[in-house]
Structures are given as structure tokens and as C-alpha cells.
Amino acid sequence: MAQNILKIALAQLNPIVGDVAGNEQKAREARAEAARMGADIVMFAEQFLAGYPAEDLVLKPAFQDTCRAALERLARETADGGPGMLVGLPWREEGLLYNAYALLDGGTVSVRFKVDLPNYGVFDEKRNFEAGPLPGPVNFRGIRLGLPICEDIWSGDVVECLAETGAEMLLVPNGSPYWRGKTEERFNIAAARVTESGLPLVYLNQVGGQDELVFDGASFVLNSDCSLACQLPANEETIALTTWEKGEEGWVCREAPIVTVEEGEEADYAACVLGLRDYVEKNRFPGVVLGLSGGIDSAICAAMAVDALGAERVHCVMLPYRYTSGESLKDAEACAKALGVRYDILPIAEPVEGFEAALQPLFAGRERDITEENLQSRARGTILMAISNKFGSMVLTTGNKSEMSVGYATIYGDMNGGFNPIKDLYKMEVYRISALRNRWKPKGALGPDGIVIPENILTKAPTAELRENQKDQDSLPPYEDLDEILRGLVEEELRVSEIVAKGYDLEVVKKVERLLYIAEYKRRQAAPGVKVTRRNFGRDRRYPIVNRYRDQGLAAHQKDEALERAIGKPRAGSMDV
């Protein structure tokens, strides 16, 4: 290696949490590929050997030992004079556990620890790791590499310390999950650190799904003038070579691939497909089964499943009852045909009426109500679970975020399932993303081109078809309004009064807030699903099930006269209430 030339291979790969042996072998194979490319060093993502996030698994001493042993084997292999390696893992030292990044070269190991541990949203790193000290650079063949780990670049202290102690470039390993708008946010953070330090920066992110999270890759390189020198694809594994040259102004990335990454709803759809694919593959399910109702939600989930797994691994089942319209039967069949999946029709009249007959002595004298409606949904859920048990396919559940928010779903019925690809998409987003899929599909999708969701599904009024002439809007505000109210309550944590100020009726907003709170117990029992928004249910938003708080819609400056009467007006010199 000439002293003024450095070739860095970026291994944007998809590790599996807990599969240390598999991740080790993946790293070994990537190093071999990097050697064939002529690389001097190959870089992997944060916590690569363990898989990220391994959550409380990293606290298990046996797991820590397994990761350490894998790293030591890889380190010994670097004594062959080939490429060095940068690998992440949990690292115990003097009784404390750190999120570590290790340089392996010439058979030796140099380690740096993560300083800023994220403890918000989906992250709980302060639960699992100790914060490391401010680091200096590591020496790789005469070049001083700064190794801030993920969150370490989201504020300036770590990079400032590295720059002051002689780092020549910043190589940043990440486990950065996708949410809408994340790409721009990453660029802004990286550009801020480059501007402050004057150092070029490599942002290497992992790719793949892990439970609710999707890591989209989309790794990149910024030169010291903040120009984009490398952009790797989103949502796919790749090993890319970047060639660097040192001049009077420092290191510059001269050669590297630059591709276009999906944005907006295309990125959302691609994330849902990747999250579903990896949940099925990493849990070793042979395929999925879902109820295809003729509605928009099940149709887009079927399309995502085919794009993720291929038509031969997707089984769609229509489960009609007396309220199922001929239109729904026709639409479901057309959707299944367009996708090329197995499609069966299993009427549910006998099991539903069997349940009603069994309950008749107990229910005698009471009017029919939502109870009988839910029996239909629960019969469907039971049948789908039976198919899953018999054939091994995972049940895909298909409720959107609007329904999950307000509890417009039957627990132990249509909520049955192992995974939900649209759990974090509001109803109107489902419509838009469905129209998108009819004219586009992501790279690597296994489904057919063209229209896969019949036009009638996109245009007809949504209905659960649990009673005669039922429409969703009989029970809920129009979805255009509901979704905006929910964004205010869930994503933005707005006061009811602030949402009302946007033009929504006070009583409607209070009703939606009440439904949101009382549905918490359902969400706690719901299947996991892909995180798409900044604030999903479960990892980001953790509300109590027992919760009597209700926002009455008073503006911050208004006095609550009822409260004032109850406690009396404050006396002079006393605390103002």
C-alpha cells in the first residue's frame, strides 16, 4: 500500500441477531471478497458479530464469550497480511460491558468504545452498555482512523476529540433503523460533523429487518468539503470498494459507486417488504397465509408478501359469511389472480352459527350487537391459525395504523397473526402506497409488474362487512380526518386544543383520543410490524394500559373553572394553580 493511497471496502451486510457463527462467517467471506477487490481494510456495521439490536441478549455472559471468541478467530486470520477488519461487538472489560468497535490487523486487536448511548425511541442502550471514555484515533498502517460509533456523531464532542487528537478521517459504523425522512437527517448530521472537524466521513449502515426495525443500509461517504463521494443502495446487501488519496488537504475519496436510493412512499414500501421478508426468513417460516377479504389492507399485504417471498410462498384465503358481498368475492379473486398466489374460499357460516348456537342459552333475551360481529372475525382468525398450525406458514395480520390506533379491530380475530407489514401505515397512506405499487415495484421484488391491486379495491368505500350495509365511516370519522387527528395525538403529542385549532371538532377529537387510550390493551397483544414513521406503537410509544387521563381540550392559557371551583382560588402568596 502506498502511503498516500487507501482502499476501504464497505461491507453493507445483513447480520442475524444471535447468529454469531453465521455473522462471523459472513465477515470472513466479506474479507475474502475485499481482498479480491484489492482493499486494504474492510469495514462492518455496529455490533455486527452480535447482530443489532441484540437487546438484553448482550447481558448474557455466555453470549459475550461467544462474540469475543469469534472476534479473536477473525483477528488471528488477519496475520496473513490481507485486509484489516473493523468489526463491532459487545465487549466486557474490568467488569463493564461496552458497545465496541475493533480494528483487527496483523493478528492484533485495538478497541474503541461507544460514548453517546441513545436512550430514546427504539433505543435502550443505557440499559445494556456502559458509556466509554472520549476516544483517540487508532493507527492502521500509519493512518490515524477516527472510529465514532453511530450516535457518537449526533453531537459534536466525540468527533471534536478525535479531530484534536489527530484523526485523519472518520469511519462511522451504524445500526441506524429506517423511518420516513431518515436519509436526509443522516446527511445533515454527517455534514455538520464534517464541517466542524474538516475531516471526511464514511457512514456505514447495516441492512435488514430485525423484529419491528428495518435497517435500510444506504451507506455513504462525504469528503471534507461535504461533497457526496459514495452512495450505496438502500435495502440490499453490497460490498463496495472506495479508493482514497491523500494530498495536501488530507484524504479524499476519489473512486466509489454512487446510486440513487428510494425516497418517500417508495422507501416506505421497500422497507415494509424488507421487514416482512427478513421476519419470515430469519424465523425460518416456509411462507405466509392471510385472509384476503377484497379490501385494501389485505390486498396490499398480499402484494408485499409476494414481493418479499414470491407467489409460491403466499397462501390467500377468502373467508366469506352472509354479509360478504359479491363485489368483495370478485375483488379478492382478481387480486389473487393478479399476484399469482394460491387462493382458497372457506365459508365460515357453520363455525359462526355453531358458536351462536352454543352461546344461545347464555345470551337468551339479549339483542344482537357487536358480540355477534366479533364472532365472525374470531372464526376467521381461528381458521387461519389452524392453517398455520397444519402447514407451518405464518399468519399475516393486516390492520393499518388508523385501526390499531382506535381499536377498530377484533382481538383474537383479525388481529391474529405473527407479523403485520402495514402496522405503522395510516389508512390513507395504505391507499397511496397501493396505487404506487400498481405502477412501480422496488428493486429485487419478486412479484409481478403492473396492476396487482384491482382498481375497484382502491375506489370502493372501506367496510369490515360484519353486518348489513356496514361502512367504516359509520363508526369512525372520515379517514382523511382521522389520520390527521391521530398524527397530532401520536406523532406530535399535540394538545386536543391544538388539534381543534386546525379546524377539527372538539368532541370528535376527544372521542378519537379516548379510543386511542382504551385500545392500548389491544396493541400490547398485537403482532409486531414494520416501523415506518418516527413514532410507532410499541418501541417508540409506550403508554400505560390503565390510564384515566383525558385531555379536555382546554388551551394552555385557559382556566379550568370546574377545577378552580373544586380547589378554591389561590390565596395571596400561595402557589398559583
User: How far is 48 from 149, CA to CA, in rounded Å?
Assistant: 12
Binding-site entries: 120, 176, 182, 291-298, 374, 398, 403, 522
User: How far is 282 from 221, CA to CA, in rounded Å?
Assistant: 30
Distance of CA 48 to the CA centre of its chain: 18
Binding-site entries for ATP: 291-298, 398
Distance of CA 76 to the CA centre of its chain: 36
Q: Which residues are designated catalytic? A: 46, 114, 150
Task: Look at residue 31 and give its three-state secondary structure.
Answer: helix
Task: Look at residue 207 and give its three-state secondary structure.
Answer: strand
Contact 170, 159 (CB under 8 A): yes
Quick one: how many helices (H) and strands (E) in the chain? 18, 19
User: How far is 268 from 216, CA to CA, in rounded Å?
Assistant: 10
| Burial letters 347-364, b for 16+ CB under 10 A, else e | ebeebbeebeeeeeeeee
Contact 242, 230 (CB under 8 A): yes
Residue 324 half-sphere exposure, CB side, CA atoms within 13 Å? 21
* Identity of the amino acid at 529: G
User: How far is 122 from 53, CA to CA, in rounded Å?
Assistant: 10
Burial class (CB in 10 A: 0-12, 13-18, 19+), 147: buried
User: How far is 530 from 300, CA to CA, in rounded Å?
Assistant: 14
Length of the chain in residues, anyone?
577
Q: What are phi and psi of 209, to 5 degrees?
A: -95, 145
Cell of 244: 482514497
User: How far is 217 from 434, CA to CA, in rounded Å?
Assistant: 24
Cis link prior to 135 (omega < 30° from 0)? Answer: no
Among 263, 331, 277, 344, which Cα is nearest to 307's?
A: 277
Burial class (CB in 10 A: 0-12, 13-18, 19+), 549: exposed
Report long-range pairs for 445-450 (Cβ below 8 Å, ≥24 apart). Answer: 445/273, 445/307, 445/308, 446/306, 446/307, 446/308, 446/309, 446/310, 446/311, 447/303, 447/306, 447/307, 447/310, 447/311, 447/339, 448/306, 448/338, 448/339, 448/340, 450/338
Contact 244, 280 (CB under 8 A): no
What secondary structure does DSSP assign to 527-545, as a single string? PPB---SSS-BTTTB---S
Binding-site entries for deamido-NAD(+): 374, 403, 522
